């Protein structure tokens, strides 16, 4: 049951979409800061992959994955990054957007 509670929380936070230009200031943000950002804000974030890409493919219709850092978790929506796996430390650059929020 706890896994689904965590999943539900991750869906309520912001998602990141790849394929955009790099954040102008290059500062790595905390998830808690990203949650306060407006949609389409360019951000950089680092964290540990918490579930493999495609784990929720049938439900979300994408191959996104979750990352976690001390300030919280975030869902990363990207079909191209299939080689990341649970436990990997990643840096993500992308645009914010509301996802099921």
Could you give the CA distance from residue 32 to residue 4 in angstroms, rounded to a whole number?
21
Could you give the CA distance from residue 11 to residue 22 in angstroms, rounded to a whole number?
24
Please, what are the domains in the chain? 2-98 (2.40.50.200)
Q: And the tokens for 83?
A: 């080689």
Could you give the CA distance from residue 24 to residue 75 in angstroms, rounded to a whole number?
22
- List, in sequence order, every residue forming a beta bridge with 72; answer none if it has no partner: 69
Could you give the CA distance from residue 84 to residue 49 in angstroms, rounded to a whole number?
8
Which residues, 6 or more positions from 58, have their beta carbon under 8 angstroms from its beta carbon? Answer: none
What tens digit of pLDDT does each residue of 45-97 get? 899 999 888 777 666 566 788 889 988 888 888 766 678 889 999 888 888 88
């Amino acid at each position: 049951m706890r896994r689904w509670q965590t999943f539900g929380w991750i869906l309520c936070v912001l998602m990141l979409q790849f394929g955009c230009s790099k954040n102008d200031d290059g500062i790595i943000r905390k998830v808690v800061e990203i949650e306060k950002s407006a949609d389409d804000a360019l951000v950089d974030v680092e964290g540990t992959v918490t579930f493999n890409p495609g784990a929720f493919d049938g439900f979300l219709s994408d191959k996104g994955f979750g990352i976690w850092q001390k300030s919280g978790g975030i869902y990363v929506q990207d079909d191209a990054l299939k080689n990341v796996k649970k436990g990997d430390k990643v840096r993500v650059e992308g645009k914010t957007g509301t996802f099921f929020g």
